[in-house]
Structure 1
Amino acid sequence: MVAEAAVGSPKRGTANGVAAGPVPPGGGGRGRRARRVRSCLRANLLVLLTLAGVAAGAAVGLAMANWAPRLSQEHLVAFSFPGELLLRLLRLIILPLVVCSLVGGAASLDPASLGRMGGWALLFFLLTTLLASALGVGLAFVLRPGVGTQAPGAQDAQLPQTKSVLDSFLDLFRNIFPDNLVAAAFRSYSTKYQQNVTNITLTEPCENEEMNILGLVMFSMVLGVTLRKMGAEGELLIRFFNSFNEATMIMVSWIMWYAPVGIMFLIAGKIVEMENASQLFASLGKYVCCCILGHILHGLLVLPLIYFVITRKNPYRFLWGIVPALATAFGTSSSSATLPLMMECVEERNGVSKHVSRFILPIGATVNMDGAALFQCVAAVFIAQLNNVPLTFVQVITILITATASSVGAAGIPAGGVLTLAIILGAISLPTKDISFILAVDWLVDRFCTIINVEGDAFGAGLLQCYVDHNEVDLGSLGPELAEVKDDASVVPLSPEADPLILKMVKSGSPSGDTNTCEKESVM
C-alpha cells in the first residue's frame, strides 16, 4: 500500500512527494472523456467512413440526377467505375475464401475430438441456422421489400427458362457433385430444352459461365473432414489452408478500407440511373425493417422457444443474464470482441460451468451464424425482387442450403456476410452488382446479426449445461476434448468481424474491463 501511494503520488501533480499545485477541478475528468471519445472514434472509424460514403453518394447522386439525361452511357460507366472496382475486388476474394475457410472450419470440427456433447451442440447450431434461413426467406416473400422497385438494367435481364421439377433437382445435385473441380471454379451445370424438326422437346446439358458454389462448398467440407481423419499427416495441409485463410481475411480488411469510396460511387451511380430514387430508398427501408423484424422474431421467439422446450426453464431469465454481452455485440459488431464478456455472463449470471462455456462458446463463434444467415436470405430474395426474377422452389432450397453450409466455415471478417451473399447470388444465377444496395445499409443490419449470433451461442451453452446436469456428465471428462479444441483454435484462430482496430481493442483489454481477458482469450 505504501509503495502504491509513493508511485501514485507524482501522478496527482506532485514532484518527489512535494505538492506542485492544485489540480484544476474537472480537468482529469475532461481528459478521460476526451480519451474515451478518441478511442470510440478510432474503434468505429470504418463504420463512420462508410456512413460518410453513403451520405456523400446519396448527395452526389441526387445533385447529378438533373444532369442524367445529358450524360452518355460512357460518362455513366466512367462515373460508376470506382464502385465497380469494389464489386470486382469482392468477387475476386470469393473463391479462396470459400475453399480455405470451409476446409479449415470442417477440419477443426472433428466429431471424434468434440465427443457426443460437441456433436449435439453442432446439431443445435446447424438447426437454428437453418430455421433462421427459412424465417428470412419467408419474411422476404411475405413483406416483399423489393417489389415495386426496378433496379437499373433489370429490364434487360433475361428470366431463367422454366424447367421441370425433376430436372431442377437433378441440376441441383449435379452442381453439388461436380465432375471437374477446376471447371467448378468458373462453370455450373444447367439443363436447357430445345426442339428438333419434329417439335419434340429434348434436354440438352449446358454449362453456364458462373462459379459452381455448391460444388466447391461440398468438396471443401469433405476435404477438411478427410484431412482431420488423416491425423498428423494431414496437419501440414490444414495449416496451409488456415494460413491461406488468414491471408485472405487480411486482404479483405484492406479491401474494406476502400469500401467507403466504392460505396459512394456505387450509390451515386445507381441514383443517377434510376428514374425514381425515392422509391429505391423506400425499398431499402423495407429491406432493413424486414431484416430487423426477422432478427427480433428469431431472437425473442424461436431461440427462447427451443430453450424452453428442451430445458423447461424460463428462457427470458437466461436472456436477461447476457444483456451486457448483447449490448457489447451491438456496439462493437464483433463476436470475437464479445466472447470474453459472454463467457463471464453465462458463467456468473446463468450458472454455466467454465468447462462448458469455454468448450462450446468458441465453437459457436465459428459455426453458429444465425443472424448472418437470416440477413443473407432476406437480401437474396430482395435482390431477386429488384430484378423481377421469380425464384423457383429449387432456387429457394439452394438459398437455404448455401446459407446454412457456408456458415460452417464462415470467418468473422469485415463484410463476411456480404461475401457470403455474393456466394448465394452466384448459386442461384442472380447479378452481384446489386450488392451495392446491401453495402449501403450493412453497417446497421450487421449489428443485429451479431446480436443474434452471440445470443445463439449463449443458448447453446445453456442447453449443453442442462444436458450435463440431467445426464450427470463428469466435467472432468471434458478435459481431453477441451484440450483438442484449444489445439484447433491455435490452428484455426477466430478473427474479428469488425475492422483491425477492433482486434487491437480486444488484444489490449476486455470490453467489460475484466483483467483476466488474456486468460479467457487463450482458451479460445
Structure 2
Amino acid sequence: GRSQLLLRLLRLIILPLVVCSLVGGAASLDPASLGRMGGWALLFFLLTTLLASALGVGLAFALRPGVGTKALEAQDAQLPQTKEVLDSFLDLFRYPAHRGLHVVAAFHTWPSRLSAVRHNFTLFFSSQSGLEPIGREVEGMNILGLVVFAMVLGVALRKMGAEGELLICFFNSFNEVPREYAPVGIMFLIAGKIVEMEDVGRLFASLGKYVCCCILGHIIHGLLVLPLIYFLITRKNPYRFLWGIVPALATAFGTSSSSATLPLMMECVEEKNGVSKHISRFILPIGATVNMDGAALFQCVAAVFIAQLNNVPLRFIQVITILITATASSVGAAGIPAGGVLTLAIILEAISLPTKDMSFILAVDWLVDRFCTIINVEGDAFGAGLLQCYVDHNEAGLASLGPELAEVKDDASVVPPSPEADPLILKTVKLGGPAGDANTCEKESVM
C-alpha cells in the first residue's frame, strides 16, 4: 500500500540524504572564521550534546519503555544480520584505502567472526588450534564511514569559498526532498502498523512510556544539567538567567521552530540577561546549526526503545556507537519535517536495527519535537551567557577575542521566518563579518 511506498522511498534516498545532511551541516561552519572563542563555543555545544545523548541512553535503560511489548515478536526473524560494532569503526579506515575507491565503500561492510583454525607443523612442532578473526564483505550501509567522509567533504567545500557554494546549495536543497512526499504516507504507515499488532493497548502503553522518557530527559537536561554547567563556570544563578529567556522558550514550544525563536531569543539574552549584541549575534546562529541537545537525547531514547521492541539486547560497544553516532548525526540533522527522525536511521543502521520501526516514532514526534526545540534553543542561550561571562572576566575584553567578534555588526539582521508546519526550515542571509558573505546559501536546523 501507500505505507510500503513511503518506506521504499525513504530507503531509496537514505544514503544520499545522510550524506547531504551531514555535508550541509559541516559546511555551515568555517573553522577559520570562527576564531578561538568560536572553537570554545563549539566544544561546549558538542560536550552538552554528548551529555544529552548519555542521559537519553541511561533513562531508556532505566525506564525500559519498550520492554514487555510483544507486538513485534513475530517480526524477530526479519531483523538485519548483526555484526561486531568494532567492525563499524574499522570500516572508517578499511574503505578509504580500498582499491579503486568505488561505491563498495558505501554499500558494503566488513564484519568478522572468530573461527577455529588448526595449524599443522611437520618438523618440530605438533599441530595447534586457535581462534582467528575471519572477515568478508557483506551487503550493508557503512554508516560511520559515510559520516566521516561527509563531514570532511563539508569542511573542504567551505574552505573552497565561492567555488564550493554551488555544491553546498545543492546538498542543502536535497534535504528538502522528503518533505514533499513524507506527509502523504505517514498516516498510512502508522495505520498499517497498528492493524498488524496483536496487542494494540500494550503498544500504546509503550509509546506513552517512550514519550514520558523523552520529556523526563529533556526536563532533567534543561533544568539540571545545563544550569549546573552554567553555575560551575560562572558562579551565577542559572535560574535567573533561565527566567529571562522564558518568552523565547514558550515561542520555541509553540512553533517547534528555532527560526521563529531566534529573533526573540536574541532580544531576551540582550535585554534581560545582559549579553552584548556582538556575542548574541555571533554565537546564537552557530548554536542553531550545531547545538542539537534535544534531538540527540530523543534519538538515543528512540534507538534503545526500538531495540527493546525487537527484543535485541544492546552490548556496551553498541551503546558507545549510539552515543557517538547521535552526537555526530545531530550536527547535520536535516531541517525538514521530522528531520530528527530521519537522522535516527543513521543510528539504527550503525547498530543493525530495522529502520521500518521508525513509524512508531513518527506517530508521537509532533509532541516530542517541541521539547527538543526548547532544549536546543536553551543550550544556545546558555552558550551565549557563558561567552559573555568570559568576556566580562577577561582583562583585555573584546580586543582579546580577535576580529571574530569585533566585526560582528550590532544591527545584523535576521531574515524573518517563513511560515512553517514543522521543524525547522530557514534559509538565512548569513550574518555580516568573517563568518561569511551575504550570498551564502545556508540552512539552519533544530532537529
Normalising by the residue count of structure 2, what TM-score does the alignment of the two structures yield? Answer: 0.84
The match for 1:172 is 88
| SS of residue matched to 1:434 | helix
- Aligned counterparts of 2:116 and 2:420: Cα–Cα separation in 1: 53
**Partner Cα distance (2:227, 2:221) in 1:** 9
Amino acid at match of 1:317: R
Instruction: Give the Cα separation in 1 of the matches to 2:25 and 2:417.
Output: 13
SS in 1 for 2:107: coil
Q: CA deviation at 1:498?
A: 4.7
Q: CA deviation at 1:413?
A: 2.0
Unaligned 5+ residue runs, structure 1? Answer: 1-80, 508-521
Does the CA-based 8 Å contact 1:333-1:497 persist in structure 2?
no
Q: Which residue matches 1:108?
A: 28
**Residues 141 and 316 (structure 1), Cα distance of their counterparts in 2 relative to 1, 3 Å cut:** same
Q: 1:108, 1:272 → 2: CA distance?
A: 43
TM superposition shift of 1:206: 2.6
**Shift, 1:236, TM fit:** 1.7
Q: Which aligned pairs between 1:49-448 and structure 2 lie closer than 5 A?
A: 81-152=1-72, 153-157=74-78, 168-169=85-86, 171-179=87-95, 180=101, 182-195=103-116, 201-229=131-159, 231-232=160-161, 235-237=162-164, 239-258=165-184, 262-448=185-371
| 1:191, distance to aligned residue in structure 2 (A) | 1.0
Q: Which moved more, 1:176-185 or 1:344-353?
A: 176-185
- The C-alpha deviation readout for 1:107-146, integer Å capped at 9, x for no partner, is 3323321111101100000000000000000100111000
TM-superposed deviation, 1:503? 6.3
**What's the % identity of the aligned pairs?**
74
Gap change, CA 1:415 and 1:162, over 3 Å in 2: closer
| 2:421 is aligned with 1:499 | yes
Check the 8 A contact 1:188/1:211 in 2, yes or no. yes
- TM-score (structure 1 length as normaliser): 0.72
| Distance in 2 (alpha carbons) for counterparts of 1:203 and 1:358 | 53
Equivalenced residue count is: 412
Deviation string for 1:328-360 (max 9, x for gaps)? 100110111111111011001111000000000
Indicate if the aligned counterparts of 1:366 and 1:411 stay in contact, CA closer than 8 A.
no
- Which structure: greater helix fraction? 1
What is the distance in 2 between the residues matched to 1:496 and 1:475?
34
Task: Quote the offset at 1:309 in angstroms.
Answer: 0.3
With over 3 angstroms needed to count, the CA separation of the structure-2 counterparts of 1:177 and 1:498, relative to structure 1, is farther
Q: CA deviation at 1:157?
A: 4.2
Q: Which moved more, 1:472-481 or 1:267-276?
A: 472-481
Q: Retained in 1: the 8 A contact 2:337–2:424?
A: no
For residues 496 and 335 of structure 1, do their structure 2 counterparts lie closer, same or farther at Cα, with a shift above 3 Å needed?
farther
How far apart, in 2, do the equivalents of 1:501 and 1:445 lie?
A: 11
Q: Assess, with a 3 A threshold, how the Cα gap between structure 1 residues 477 and 241 changes in structure 2: closer, same or farther.
A: farther
1:461-504 alpha-carbon deviations (Å, 9 max, x no partner)? 00010111111454367684259989xx99xx999895389869
2: CA distance, partners of 1:495 / 1:413: 14
1:241 counterpart letter in structure 2:
L
Counterparts in 2 of 1:363 and 1:181: CA distance versus 1, 3 Å: farther
- How do 1:22-41 residues align onto structure 2 when only pairs under 5 Å count? none
CA contact (8 A) 1:334 1:496 kept: no
Separation in structure 2 between the aligned mates of residue 324 and residue 356 of structure 1, nearest angstrom: 20
Distance (whole Å) between structure 2 residues aligned to residue 138 and residue 363 of structure 1: 28
Partner Cα distance (2:425, 2:155) in 1 = 29
Partner of 2:435: none
RMSD between aligned residues:
3.0
Distance in 2 between residues matched to 1:503 and 1:405, nearest whole Å? 20
Cα distance, 1:279–1:325 mapped onto 2, change above 3 Å? same
Matches of 1:391 and 1:485, distance apart in 2: 47
Structure 1 pair 500/145, CA: closer, same or farther in 2 (3 Å)? closer
Supply the distance in 2 between the matched residues of 1:485 and 1:187 (Cα, whole angstroms): 46
Q: CA deviation at 1:95?
A: 2.3
How far apart in 1 are the matches of 2:331 and 2:297? 15
